[in-house]
Amino acid sequence: MKKLGFLSFITALFVLVACSKDDSPSQTEPLVISFEKTAIDYSTIENEAPIGLVFSQRPTANGVLYIQVEATNATYDTDFNTLPTAALNEIVLPFTAGQETLSFTFKNLIFPFDRGDKKVNFTITKIEYPGETAIQGYTKLNVSFETFSRGFFAPNIGGPNEPNQVYIDLSKGKLTDVQRDSWDLGFYAGNEFKVMLNGSVAMAATALPQTNLADVTEESVAALKTQVATGTFNPTNTIYIDNPSGDLNGLVINNVSDNPANNPVYLINLGFSVGTAAPNVGSVAINGEHRGWKKIKINRDGSNYKIQYADIDGSNFKEQVITKVSAFNFTFYSLVTNQVKQVQPESKNWDIAFTVFTNIIPSAGSYVYSNYVINNVVGGAKAYKVSTDNFSYAAFTKANVDESLFTADQRSIGDSWRSVTPVAMNQTVFYVVKDPEGNYYKVKMLSVVSPEGVRGNATFEYEILP
């Protein structure tokens, strides 16, 4: 009997302990507090910004978080400060039981910036809390504004099929590439409701008399299909493309009205997929298969857009709300994959881009160019061409910049840096680029082909003008 009682006691104790662990898992998990991000761009903080932290679980008691502040080429209370104030390079942040988030304020005292090598590092060093804690996850946050003074780049255009658009931020030395047939429409994020076509795949469009998608059929648009295209060498075909200058008042798709009855259906020529053929050395093969046609109607949805679309004879309409995101020039969408796409970097975070491009040839209409360079006019980047008859690249300084030569045309660089018949560089020009932050650069194109003569392998160099 005594032996049985002892065994029963042990069994009951085991069950009690097991139940206790299952019922209260939070008691065995450490409290973790970490930053929401690992880095913030100094240039995005014009006045002040919250620095957010997150809890792994709601604290069950009050506590204190300690954050070390380490600045490089920046001085507290001169270049920046914080709220709460850092004492002896340390921020002390109390938190209370049940609190969900935590933050402090970073204040920028020198916008715009006097130098580009300032950095401020924040590091979580200690958590005072009655329960178990752990310092892990995003334990460090860097705030920096690093301006590259010069650089040499070989954008990933992708060879003679030129599959990629490459967006370049000169101040950060950052290149972002995206496959050019991954999107079709760009929805403007500004106050107006404007929609652009993807000219890098030779898209074209026209408004139809119908305002209901169901009323558009293959028969009703058959005659238009021979006209709504690029590269037809018909000078009148320019009405089917967006103004290549980048002027948002010259888009094929009219400003979207708040009255759906005023928004027509559009016939959309989706252009061509990226080519896959291997051309002769020195040539390009940018066009693959034709991607077909769509009919679309775009309305407003409050402060956003709503797009409806289908194949020409299709009756099953797809519908998508496109949200404006103010940090970007456009929100991009694919009518092929039915997805919102990330294409360009944020509005202020790119200056020039290498891309296939639909331009206009006088007396011949729209035509698709390879090896083309645009500047970010919507985001505020400007450029102009300099002749070496007037200045040498090496000797050109900020004092030589002529503000009157900057234009509102994204083709300021364009194709003027190279020729293709024969393939050669134009050695008599370079360019001045003014980025959205007001930095000035001189830019010189170095090559349009690889050492083996393969197109789609451009290189360039640049230098900031102090």
| 306 φ, ψ (degrees, to nearest 5) | -130, 125
Q: What count of other Cβ atoms lies within 10 Å of the Cβ of residue 249?
A: 9
On the 0-12 / 13-18 / 19+ scale of CB atoms within 10 A, 71 is middle
Amino acid, res. 446: L
Asked if residue 183 lies in contact with residue 340, where contact means CB atoms within 8 angstroms, the answer is no
Asked if residue 436 lies in contact with residue 379, where contact means CB atoms within 8 angstroms, the answer is yes
pLDDT digits (tens, 9 = 90+) for 421-455: 899 999 999 999 999 989 999 999 999 999 999 99
- Residue 173's pLDDT is what? 84
Domains in the chain: boundaries: 24-146, 151-464
Token pair of 329, please?
Answer: 């020039």
Asked if residue 252 lies in contact with residue 240, where contact means CB atoms within 8 angstroms, the answer is yes
Q: What is the 3-state secondary structure (H, E, C) of the chain?
A: CHHHHHHHHHHHHHHHHHHHHHHCHHHHCCEEEEECCCEEEHHHCCCEEEEEEEECCCCCCCEEEEEEEEEECCCECCCEEEECCCCCCEEEEEECCCCCEEEEEEEECCCCCCCCEEEEEEEEEEEECCCCEECCCCCEEEEEEECCCEEEECCCCCCCCCCEEEEEECCCCEEEEEECCCCCEEEECCCCCCEEECHHHCCEEEECCCCCHHHCCHHHHCCHHHCCCCCCCCHHHHHHCCCCCCCHHHCCECCCCCCHHHCCCEEEECCEEECCCCCCCCCCCCEEEECCEEEEEEEEECCEEEEEEECCCCCCCEEEEECCCCCCCEEEEECCCCEEECCCCCCCCCCEEEEEEEEEECCCEEEEEEEEEEECCCCCCEEEEEECCCCCCCCCCHHHCCHHHCCCCCCCCECCCEEECCEEECCCEEEEEECCCCCEEEEEEEEEECCCCCEEEEEEEEEECC
Give the mean pLDDT of the chain: 91
Asked if residue 60 lies in contact with residue 94, where contact means CB atoms within 8 angstroms, the answer is no
383: nearest Cα among 460, 289, 284, 306: 460
- How many Cα neighbours within 13 Å face the side chain of 239? 8
pLDDT digits (tens, 9 = 90+) for 67-118: 999 999 889 999 999 999 999 999 999 999 999 889 999 999 987 666 667 8
The order of strands in the sheet holding 455-464 is: 150-153, 455-464, 440-449, 429-434, 382-387
From residue 194, give the alpha-carbon distance in Å to each of 11, 253, 271, 298, 328. Answer: 72, 7, 20, 10, 14
d(CA 412, CA 390): 18
d(CA 64, CA 78): 27
List the chain pLDDT tens, one digit each, 466 residues: 333 343 333 333 333 333 333 333 344 589 999 998 887 877 678 789 999 999 989 999 999 999 999 999 889 999 999 999 999 999 999 999 999 889 999 999 987 666 667 889 999 999 999 999 999 888 999 887 666 778 899 999 999 999 999 999 998 888 999 999 999 999 999 999 999 999 999 999 999 999 999 999 999 999 999 999 999 999 999 999 999 999 999 999 999 999 999 999 999 999 999 999 999 999 999 999 999 999 999 999 999 999 999 999 999 999 999 999 999 999 999 999 999 999 999 999 999 999 999 999 999 999 999 999 999 999 999 999 999 999 999 999 999 999 999 999 999 999 999 999 899 999 999 999 999 989 999 999 999 999 999 999 999 999 999 7
- Residue 116's pLDDT is what? 64
Contacts 24+ apart (CB under 8 A), 386-391: 386/429, 386/430, 386/431, 386/432, 386/442, 387/428, 387/429, 388/427, 388/428, 388/429, 388/430, 389/428
Could you confirm whether domain 24-146 is CATH 2.60.40.2030? Answer: yes
- How many Cα neighbours within 13 Å face the side chain of 289? 3
> What distance lies between CA 93 and its chain's CA centroid?
34
- Residue 71's pLDDT is what? 94
Asked if residue 455 lies in contact with residue 158, where contact means CB atoms within 8 angstroms, the answer is no
